[in-house]
Structure 1
């Protein structure tokens, strides 16, 4: 389980890794045996934050993660996605995510 927590945190940081002249302006992390928190912000406006906690679901242990990420597109518009990832899967929410019509 610790491996999963560390893997998720490192994956998110790698995904948000800056390129070119982009600088990291904030980087925080706290990884424990049953939870983690991290935040990363770069000079180009990209931000990511997540918090995960070990959760008991029936007889199985899993991790529940709440987080968000945002970036600024070439036109200067900021896009924000908030998400929960738990026993119900990855559940993103944001204005840029299409929503299926209600039938």
Structure 2
């Protein structure tokens, strides 16, 4: 009986949460584009999504978004996009493995021994 009640209550929590998501509303919205090409915007929703960005159209942008993932963990993503590409940061993003020691040693050797072009005599 307890197991059935637990399963039913978990199901109801999921259904109620889904209903809350479907009924969310925009709580704030702002968008501004200036004649010099700079812009900024932000929005928020009643279910806890907040986002903002500012930048120069087609050149660079800086922004962030915050929300709660379906598993309940908080997500905070910040990003920059410019001539160096899109660079997101956030604790939830995967990180690359460390560079192996033999690769680091090889790179150090290459840096310490630059290639010298040999001039051939004609």
Gap regions ≥5 residues in structure 1: 1-18, 55-61
The answer to which structure has the higher helix fraction is: 2
In terms of fraction of residues, the more strand-rich structure is: 1
RMSD: 1.5
**2:43 alignment partner in structure 1:** 40
2:60 corresponds to 1:64: yes
User: How does the TM-score come out when normalised to structure 1?
Assistant: 0.69
Larger Rg: 2
Higher relative contact order (CA 8 A, sep 6+): 1
Query: Which consecutive residues of structure 2, in runs of 5 or more, have no partner in the other structure?
Result: 1-20, 100-122
Q: Tell me the matched-pair count.
A: 78
Matched, 1:27 2:23: no
